Amino acid sequence: MKATLLLQARTNSSRLPGKVLLPIAGVPLVVLAARRAANSGHEVVVVTSQESSDDILCSVLDCWGIKYFRGELNDTLKRFVDALEGADNNQIVVRLTGDNVFPDGSFIDELLLDYQQREISYLTCVGEPCGLPYGVSAEVTKAKYLREAHKRAVMSFDREHVTSWIAKKYGRNFFTFYQSFGMHQWRCTVDTLSDYLLVAKVFGVDKAPEKIPLNKLLEKLKDFSVDIVTPVPATRLVLGTAQFGLKYGIANKEGQPEEATVERITRSAIANGVQFFDTARAYGGSERVLGNVLAEGWSSRVTIITKLSTLEDCPVEADYSIVKAFTERSIYQSCYELQSKKIDVLLLHRTDHLTAWLGAVWETVKQLKQCGVVGEIGVSVQTPEEVMLALKFEDVSFIQLPYNILDHRWGAIIKTINKVRQQRKLTIHTRSALLQGLLATTQCELWHRAHCSNIAEVVSWLKNKAQQYTNGDVIELCLRYVLSQSWIDGVVMGVDNQEQLLQNILKTGKENWPERILEKIADGLPLVSEKTLNPANWKHNNA
């Protein structure tokens, strides 16, 4: 099938400038992408910009005999449409990008055949439905749809991403031929230096990199992606980062990890599909450490949740302008430390800040949301009563609460949460699944510090349930129990090292228990007091 293959490329990438010129097996990245796409006979045209920053790119393409078209830098959709000048309206167009070198001619032939047989307007290969790594990507449409999008699309997002307007109007149809591969959490695009090093390693020094079959590259990608330990992305595991900024947890023996360890933890989490990272102004240097580690492109792969300052330094009698200044200071400090222009999710660290100072804190947060400085907003709560208060505020779309296998307090509010979800978007994340590590230890001293009065009963119950359901693994019992709750969207877990993270990912990747099993596990649940369930009440080491 004859199609026009347009490969989008530019030199001024913000995260890895000049990446399309970096060598893979001795061939510039963009040239290899074009050659691989053309290896079954297709003609490929690189669409780049008229800016002087892309002059060298065009010189390189000339040297390698690759056709190119130069157009608008900041209007990629127009660039594509201009490159199709003179083409028939029904001309089939394949959109490729210069930072993805895995797609080859055979893959594109399969994509085109599927497009033709299904008689659709738009076809894409990206994400979980397709089963292939991020970077084995391509889109198919027709020239007439691109021209229609050019005439009607007004949002900058649609003009930058070329096909998004078409997908919204005509439907996002997925190429599912490789769905059984289950590799959607792998990554082979080149967006950061570490991406480049991985892709370069996969291709090695092969003398004909443009001819390596896609299947062979996928096999090698698996071999070299040693951090990926689960075929199921850990999307409901939220990486807690309190440990990154201070010594955290009653059972923490390792102290605060070094930044190199934090980097290994962070990259392993992202590689295994963790999407949310949780931090706070009150977590010491956590935001700063996280910001340093996520720099150079990693921040684009995760959603950062941070919490407002506790505002303990804000005067009780402060007027609106003063409270507004304290609130804004906290948020902009978070932006600075995280090296980000925007906070993805901002939570109040204290529920009473919804109403404190006549609502000045919450009003300021809402204003910054309207300005785009903050994305979603919500509250970190301690009790069911605080959840009920938070739910009364319609702008609250995110709630984080403490919950674990021993915590009997939350059953009465689940119906309310589900009812609110029918009316508006609401995400529920829980923390303290292991109660700061307490549930995983049998040390009586630590349980005493947590004010537990029935230590033997609790420890025995946890041990017996773990033997029945998780081969004696108490940590797995606690994590799977929480993750199996249908009303919970994510579970915040902090770790001290990479090995601990990977072990937790393996545990959380196991099948969720149905309601009947959860009821059996909860049978005979020992009662513990709120003094034990709330770490704020515990005795310190020197108490």
Query: Based on the domain organization, do 282 and 196 belong to the same domain?
Result: no
Number of domains in the chain: 2
Same domain, 135 and 15: yes
Average the pLDDT over 302-321 and give the result. 96
Q: Is the pLDDT of residue 332 over 80?
A: yes
Residues 189, 271: one domain?
A: no
Q: How far apart are CA 123 and CA 167, in angstroms?
A: 8
Angle at 124 between CA 118 and CA 125, to 5 degrees: 110
Looking at the chain, the whole-number percentage of residues with pLDDT higher than 70 is 97
Claim to verify: residue 117 and residue 246 sit in the same structural domain? no
Has residue 252 got a pLDDT over 60?
no
Report whether 135 contacts 187 (CB < 8 A): yes
The average confidence (pLDDT) of the chain is 93
- Render pLDDT for 267-276 as a digit per residue (tens, 0 to 9): 899 989 899 9
Mean local confidence (pLDDT), 147-162: 95
User: For residues 81 and 512, what is the distance between their CA atoms, to the nearest angstrom?
Assistant: 48
Q: Burial code of 458-468, b = ≥16 C-beta within 10 A, e = fewer?
A: bbebbeebbee
Q: In angstroms, rounded to a whole number, what is the distance separating the alpha carbons of residues 541 and 231? A: 41
What mean pLDDT is predicted for residues 391-403?
97
pLDDT band for 193, please (50, 70, 90 cuts): confident
Dihedral in degrees, nearest 10, Cα atoms 136, 187, 174, 129:
140
Q: Which residues pair with 494 in a beta bridge?
A: 240
Q: Is 307 helix (H, G, I), strand (E, B) or coil?
A: strand
Residues 100 and 135: beta-carbon distance below 8 Å? yes
Mean pLDDT of 243-252: 70
Q: Are residues 316 and 387 in the same domain?
A: yes
pLDDT band for position 542 (cuts 50, 70, 90): very low
Distance CA 133, CA 434 (A): 33
| pLDDT confidence bin for 15, thresholds 50/70/90 | confident
Does the pLDDT of residue 539 top 80, yes or no?
no
The predicted pLDDT at position 526 comes to 95
**For residue 433, which amino acid is it?**
A
Are the beta carbons of 465 and 475 closer than 8 angstroms? no
1 vs 238, higher pLDDT: 238
Averaged over 459-488, what is the pLDDT? 96
For residue range 312-321, what is the model confidence (pLDDT) as tens digits? 999 999 999 9
> Residue 543: which pLDDT band, with cuts at 50, 70 and 90?
very low
CATH of the domain at 400: 3.20.20.100
Is the confidence at residue 139, as pLDDT, over 50?
Answer: yes
What is the β-pairing status of strands 303-307 and 398-402? Answer: unpaired
Crossing angle of helices 515-522/474-483, nearest 10°? 130
Indicate if the pLDDT at residue 248 is higher than 70. Answer: no
Which pLDDT score is estimated for 484? 96
Concatenated DSSP letters for 447-480?
HHHTT-S-HHHHHHHHHHHHHHHSTT-HHHHHHH
Determine the average pLDDT of the residues in 329-335: 97
Of 224, 259, 284, the position where a domain reaches its end is 224
Dihedrals φ, ψ of 313, to 5°?
A: -90, 0
Residue 376: give the domain boundaries.
Answer: 237-440+485-513
Q: How far apart are CA 493 and CA 432, in angstroms?
A: 8
Asked if residue 50 has pLDDT above 60, the reply is: yes
Same domain, residue pair 37 and 89: yes
In a domain, 337, yes or no: yes
What's the rounded mean pLDDT across residues 155-173?
Answer: 95
What pLDDT, on the 0 to 100 scale, is given for residue 254? 59
Return all residues near 269 (Cβ < 8 A) that are at least 6 apart. 234, 237, 239, 277, 501, 505
Average pLDDT over every residue of 214-237: 89
305 secondary structure, DSSP code: E
Grade residue 251 by pLDDT with cuts at 50, 70 and 90: low
Look at residues 196, 224, 252 and tell me which one is the last residue of a structural domain.
224
* CA–CA gap between residue 401 and residue 403 (Å, rounded): 6
* Residue range 134-157: mean pLDDT, rounded: 96
Report pLDDT for 430.
Answer: 97
Same domain, 181 and 275: no
**521 part of a folded domain:** no
Rounded Cα distance, 170 and 161, in Å: 16
CA distance 149 to 297: 29
Helix (H) or strand (E) holding 140: strand 138-142
Q: Which one-letter amino acid corresponds to residue 149?
A: A
Residues 299 and 430 in one domain: yes
Mean pLDDT of 42-62: 96
User: What average pLDDT score do residues 359-374 get?
Assistant: 97
Question: Do residues 163 and 82 both lie within one domain?
Answer: yes
Is the predicted pLDDT of residue 152 greater than 70, yes or no?
yes
| pLDDT tens, residue by residue, 514-528 | 999 999 999 999 999
In a domain, 541, yes or no: no
pLDDT at 24 over 50: yes
Question: Are 103 and 135 in the same domain?
Answer: yes
One domain for residues 140 and 246: no
Long-range contacts of 116-120 (CB under 8 A, 24+ apart): 116/1, 116/92, 118/173, 120/170, 120/171, 120/173
The three-class DSSP label of residue 277 is strand
Taking only the tens place, the pLDDT of each residue in 417-434 is 999 999 999 999 999 999
Place of tokens 């590689």: 271
Residue 378 has pLDDT above 50, yes or no: yes
